[in-house]
Amino acid sequence: MSKYRIAWMPGDGIGVEVMEAARLVLDKLGLDAEYIPADIGWEFWRTEGESLPQRTIELLKTCTCGLFGAITSKPKEEAAKELIPELQDKGLTYRSPIVRLRQMFELYCNLRPCRAYPGNPLNYRDDIDLVVFRENTEGLYSGVEFHPLDDKLRETLTEFNPTMNRFKDVPADEIAVSLRVITRRGAERIIRKAFEYAKQHGYPTVTLVEKPNVLRETSGLMRRVAQEVAQDFSEIELWETNIDAQMMWLLKDPDNYGVIVTSNMFGDIVSDLCAQLVGGLGFAASGNIGDDIAVFEPTHGSAPKYAGQYKVNPHAMLLTSRMMLEWLGETDMAQALEKSIAGVIAEGKVRTYDMGGDDSTMDVAKAVAEKL
Ligand code: IPM
Ligand code: MG
C-alpha cells in the first residue's frame, strides 16, 4: 500500500494539462502515493446536473489530500443554459464545486504565497515575498443569498435594522441580498494560522486587510479577534489596513508587506493582485487547508481559450505540488522541487509564452524534472 492516497482532480480546461505536468514531476520525485482520479467540473454539471458528484465527496473522505487543476465557473443563468436537454427546467442551480469543497471539508485556510523568483522577467519587482491567508469558508462566499427578497425576511430585517427602510419601495424581484457572515471561530482560526506562519517563517508583521470603517460589524469582528490573537505573539506586529488603500500600497511598496490575512472575498481580490506582482497567475500556488485534510490548487482558472494547447505556464501548479509535499511532511522533496523550479526560472532557457518563450507546458515540467 502507498503511503498517501491523493484524490486526483484535473477538472476543466487547462486543469488537465497542468496536472499532467505535476504528475511528471511527482513521479520523478518518487512520491509514495496512489493517485485516484476523481470526477469534478463542468462536464459533470452539464451531464449530471452536479459539478461535484457525491462519489467524489465520498472518495475524498478516504484520501490524505487532493490535488486539483482548475474549474470553469459561470453565472447562474449561463450555467443553466448549458445543461443537457433532459436536465433543463429542473430548477438546478450551479454552485462552484471548489467553493463547496472548501466549506464541506472545512478547508478554512486558503494559503497563497506569492514570491518573486529571481530571473522571472515578469516580476513587478524582485523583492516581493508575500503570503496571503484568505479565510475560505465564510464571508460573502457563505452562500446565504436571496432573490427575490421574501416579504417576511424584509420585515424582519427592517425590524432589527431600520436602515433597511431605505429599500422599502423596491419590488421583491428588483432587490438581491448576499450575506457577509463572519464568525468569531472562523476569524480566529485563520488569523491564528497567519500569525503562526509569520512566527515560524520569521516575518515581523501580519497585516489584517479589512474595511471596518464601513463594514462595522463583520470587519469589526475580524479586527477585534486579530487584536486578541496578536497578544499571543509578542514578537510579531499587527498592522491593520483598509482593503482599498492596501491595494494601492501593494503596488507602491510591496516589499513593506509579508503575511497578509483577510476575509474570503477580499482575499480573492488581494491574492490575484499579489499573483500579478510576481508574474501573474502562472506563478500563484494555493492550498485549501483544514485541520485534517487539504486540497491543493493553483490560483488560476481553467482558461478555456487555451485548453488543449499545452501552452500555459505550469509553474503555479508545480509550486502548488510543492506546497502539498510540504503539508505532507515531505520536506526534502518540497525543497528539492522548489530549488528546481527556481533554477529553471533563473536560467530562463525554457519558458512558456507568458514569459516570452515558446516552450510548452510539458517542456517546462520536463526541465524542472531534469533538475531533480
Ligand atoms: C479562486 C477562484 C474561485 C474563488 C472561483 C473559481 C470560485 O477565483 O480560487 O480564487 O472565487 O474562490
Ligand atoms: Mg480568485
Three-state SS at 167: helix
Atom of ligand 1 nearest to the CA of 264: 12
Q: What is the rounded average pLDDT of the residues 297-319?
A: 96
How is residue 190 annotated by DSSP? H
How is residue 12 annotated by DSSP? S
Contact 13, 307 (CB under 8 A): yes
pLDDT band (50, 70, 90) for residue 89: confident
CB distance 205 to ligand 1 below 6 Å: no
Three-state SS at 365: helix
Atom of ligand 1 nearest to the CA of 96: 7
pLDDT at 61: 98
In whole angstroms, give the CA distance from residue 320 to residue 337.
Answer: 11
CB distance 111 to ligand 1 below 6 Å: no
pLDDT band (50, 70, 90) for residue 75: confident
In whole angstroms, give the CA distance from residue 226 to residue 206.
Answer: 10
Q: CA-CA distances (angstroms) from residue 330 to 198, 286, 293, 323?
A: 21, 17, 16, 10
| One-letter identity of residue 284 | A
Dump pLDDT digits (tens) for 125-172: 999 999 999 999 999 999 999 999 999 999 999 999 999 999 999 999
- Give bridge partners of residue 130 from the DSSP assignment: 114
- Give bridge partners of residue 180 from the DSSP assignment: none
Dump pLDDT digits (tens) for 34-44: 999 999 999 99
Q: What is the number of the ligand closest to the CA of 297?
A: 1
Secondary structure, 3-state, 87-148: HCCCCCCCCCHHHHHHHHCCCCEEEEEEECCCCCCCECCCCCEEEEEEECCCECCCCCEECC
Three-state SS at 260: strand
Dump pLDDT digits (tens) for 16-39: 999 999 999 999 999 999 999 999
- Rounded percentage of the chain residues whose pLDDT exceeds 90: 97
CB distance 99 to ligand 1 below 6 Å: yes
Q: What is the rounded average pLDDT of the residues 283-305?
A: 96
Q: What is the rounded average pLDDT of the residues 334-350?
A: 98
In this predicted structure, which of 46-60, 69-83, 115-129, 221-235 has the lowest mean pLDDT? 69-83
Contact 143, 103 (CB under 8 A): yes
**Mutate-to-test residue for ligand 1 from 40, 94, 98, 262, highest number of ligand atoms within 8 A of CB:** 98
Maximum CA extent, the chain = 66
pLDDT beyond 90 at 83: yes
Angle, alpha carbons 114-130-18 (nearest 5°): 10
Q: What is the number of the ligand closest to the CA of 51?
A: 1
Nearest CA to ligand 1 atom 4: 268
Atom of ligand 1 nearest to the CA of 301: 6
Stretch (H or E) spanning 77: helix 76-81
Gap from CA of 198 to ligand 2 centroid (Å): 23
CB distance 263 to ligand 1 below 6 Å: no
Q: What is the rounded average pLDDT of the residues 246-264?
A: 98
**Mutate-to-test residue for ligand 1 from 14, 51, 99, highest number of ligand atoms within 8 A of CB:** 99
pLDDT beyond 90 at 227: yes
Secondary structure, 3-state, 313-358: CCHHHHHHHHHHHHHHCCHHHHHHHHHHHHHHHHHCCCCCHHHCCC
pLDDT at 73: 86
Report how many helices (DSSP H) and strands (DSSP E) the chain contains, helices first. 13, 12
Q: What is the rounded average pLDDT of the residues 267-283?
A: 97
Three cell numbers, residue 182: 463572519
Q: What is the rounded average pLDDT of the residues 293-316?
A: 96
Gap from CA of 156 to ligand 2 centroid (Å): 33
Q: What are phi and psi of 273, to 5 degrees?
A: -60, -45
**Mutate-to-test residue for ligand 1 from 14, 68, 73, 295, highest number of ligand atoms within 8 A of CB:** 73
pLDDT at 76: 86
Q: b/e map of 88-110 (b: 16 or more CB within 10 Å)? A: eeeeeebbbbbbebbbebbbbbb
Contacts of the segment 324-332: beta carbons below 8 A, 24+ positions apart: 324/6, 324/65, 324/67, 324/287, 324/294, 324/296, 325/29, 325/31, 327/65, 327/287, 327/289, 327/294, 327/296, 328/4, 328/64, 328/65, 330/31
pLDDT at 293: 98
In whole angstroms, give the CA distance from residue 220 to residue 213.
Answer: 8
| One-letter identity of residue 272 | D
Q: CA-CA distances (angstroms) from residue 118 to 47, 112, 126, 336?
A: 45, 19, 7, 17
Atom of ligand 1 nearest to the CA of 286: 9
